[in-house]
C-alpha cells in the first residue's frame, strides 16, 4: 500500500467526527463553526472597501464576534483581478491589525487569508491561528510556515489556477473527484511536513477554478468530501455561482447563500466562511436542532 493511501485510511478510521483544534479552541464534531470575513482591501467585491480603514475593520470584528463568529478571517488582497499588491503592502494592511485583534480577543481564532509564505510567517508571529490558503498550495513553503508556528491550514482546490486568476472554459472529467484528490493530497503533505491533522481543514473552494455548474455539483456531492474524514470548510457567501443561479447582484444574494449553507451543513460541512454572520449562525443553529444535536433555545409550545 502506498504511504499516501495508508495515511488516508488512517485519517478515515477516525471518521468525520474528530475534533478540530485551532488556537485555544476545540470544536467538537457536532459544532458548526462560523468564520466571519474582514477584508482589509479597498476593492472587495462585497463591501467595496468598507473595512479597509483600521477603525472600521475593528468595528466589524467586534460586530461579527457579537453575532456569533468563532473565527475571524482577515485578508489583505482581493481574491479576483485588481491592482497588484506586494508582500510589503499586504503586510501593511494586515500585520499590525492581526496583532491588535489578538490583543483584543485572546481566545478568538484568527485566520489569515493569504497564499504567500512570507506574509503568513509575519501574520503567524503576530498571533494568527489558521492560514486560509485559498490558492491551493501555490506557494509550496506555506505548509512549512504552518508547521513551524503550530497553526492550522486550509487546503483548497483551484483546478491549477494561479492566484487571482479567473476560470475560463474550465472542465473536469469529474469535478468532485478532482477536488478530493487535490485537497486530500495537500492535507497529507501538510501532515508529513508537521502540521497537526486536527488543525487541517479542506475546502472545495466554490467558484475558484470552477463555473457555476461545477460549484452546484460540489455542493450537491459534498458528502463525498466529508467522507474523507477531513473537516470541511465551505466559503460560498454571496459568490458568483449563487448570483448566476438566481440572476442576482451581490447585494441580493443572501437568501441563496443561506439555502446553500443549510444544505452544506446537513451534508456534513463544519466551518462556514460568511459575510453575514448573524443570519448564518441562525441557519446553522436551526439545522443543528433539526439534526437533534442542539436543543431549542426555548420550548414552551404545548408545555404550559
Catalytic residue positions, numbered: 239, 273
In angstroms, rounded to a whole number, what is the distance separating the alpha carbons of residues 19 and 22? 10
In angstroms, rounded to a whole number, what is the distance separating the alpha carbons of residues 205 and 210? 9
What is the distance, to the nearest Å, from the Cα of residue 208 to the centroid of all Cα atoms in its chain?
13
Report residue 135 as a C-alpha cell.
Answer: 490558492
In angstroms, rounded to a whole number, what is the distance separating the alpha carbons of residues 111 and 17? 22
In angstroms, rounded to a whole number, what is the distance separating the alpha carbons of residues 9 and 17? 15
Report residue 68 as a C-alpha cell.
Answer: 456569533
Q: Which residues, 6 or more positions from 146, have their beta carbon under 8 angstroms from its beta carbon?
A: 120, 124, 131, 152, 153, 190, 193, 195, 199
Whose CA is closest to 158, among 144, 130, 139, 143?
Answer: 139
Cα-Cα-Cα-Cα dihedral sign, residues 91, 184, 273, 109:
negative
**Cα dihedral: 196, 201, 202, 208 (round 10):** -120
In angstroms, rounded to a whole number, what is the distance separating the alpha carbons of residues 25 and 111? 13
Task: Give the largest CA-CA distance in the chain.
Answer: 63
Q: Determine whether 119 is exposed, middle or buried from the number of CB atoms within 10 Å of its CB (0-12, 13-18, 19+).
A: buried
Report residue 143 as a C-alpha cell.
Answer: 505548509
What does the radius of gyration of the chain's CA atoms come to, in whole angstroms? 18
Cα within 13 Å of Cα(29), Cβ side: 9
Amino acid at each position: 500500500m502506498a504511504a499516501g493511501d495508508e495515511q488516508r485510511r488512517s485519517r478515515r478510521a477516525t471518521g468525520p467526527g474528530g475534533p478540530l483544534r485551532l488556537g485555544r479552541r476545540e470544536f467538537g464534531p457536532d459544532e458548526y463553526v462560523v468564520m466571519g470575513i474582514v477584508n482589509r482591501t479597498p476593492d472587495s467585491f462585497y463591501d467595496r472597501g468598507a473595512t479597509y480603514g483600521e477603525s472600521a475593520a475593528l468595528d466589524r470584528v467586534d460586530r461579527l464576534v457579537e453575532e456569533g463568529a468563532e473565527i475571524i478571517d482577515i485578508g489583505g488582497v482581493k481574491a479576483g483581478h485588481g491592482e497588484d499588491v506586494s508582500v510589503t503592502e499586504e503586510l501593511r494592511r494586515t500585520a499590525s491589525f492581526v496583532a491588535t485583534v489578538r490583543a483584543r480577543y485572546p481566545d478568538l481564532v484568527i485566520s489569515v487569508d493569504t497564499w504567500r509564505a512570507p506574509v503568513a510567517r509575519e501574520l503567524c508571529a503576530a498571533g494568527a491561528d489558521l492560514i486560509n490558503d485559498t490558492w491551493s498550495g501555490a506557494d509550496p513553503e506555506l505548509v512549512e510556515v504552518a508547521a513551524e508556528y503550530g497553526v492550522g491550514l486550509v487546503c483548497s482546490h483551484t483546478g491549477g489556477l494561479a492566484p487571482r486568476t479567473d476560470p475560463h472554459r474550465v472542465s473536469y472529467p469529474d469535478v468532485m473527484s478532482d477536488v478530493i484528490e487535490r485537497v486530500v493530497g495537500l492535507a497529507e503533505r501538510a501532515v508529513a511536513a508537521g502540521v497537526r491533522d486536527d488543525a487541517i481543514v479542506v475546502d472545495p473552494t466554490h467558484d475558484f477554478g470552477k463555473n457555476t455548474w461545477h460549484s452546484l455539483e460540489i455542493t450537491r456531492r459534498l458528502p463525498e468530501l466529508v467522507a474523507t474524514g477531513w473537516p470541511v470548510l465551505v466559503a460560498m457567501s454571496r459568490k458568483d455561482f449563487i448570483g448566476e443561479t438566481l440572476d442576482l447582484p451581490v447585494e441580493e444574494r443572501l437568501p441563496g447563500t443561506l439555502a446553500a449553507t443549510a444544505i452544506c451543513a446537513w451534508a456534513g460541512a463544519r466551518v462556514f466562511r460568511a459575510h453575514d454572520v448573524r443570519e448564518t449562525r441562525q441557519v446553522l443553529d436551526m439545522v443543528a436542532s433539526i439534526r437533534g444535536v442542539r436543543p431549542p433555545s426555548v420550548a414552551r409550545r404545548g408545555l404550559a
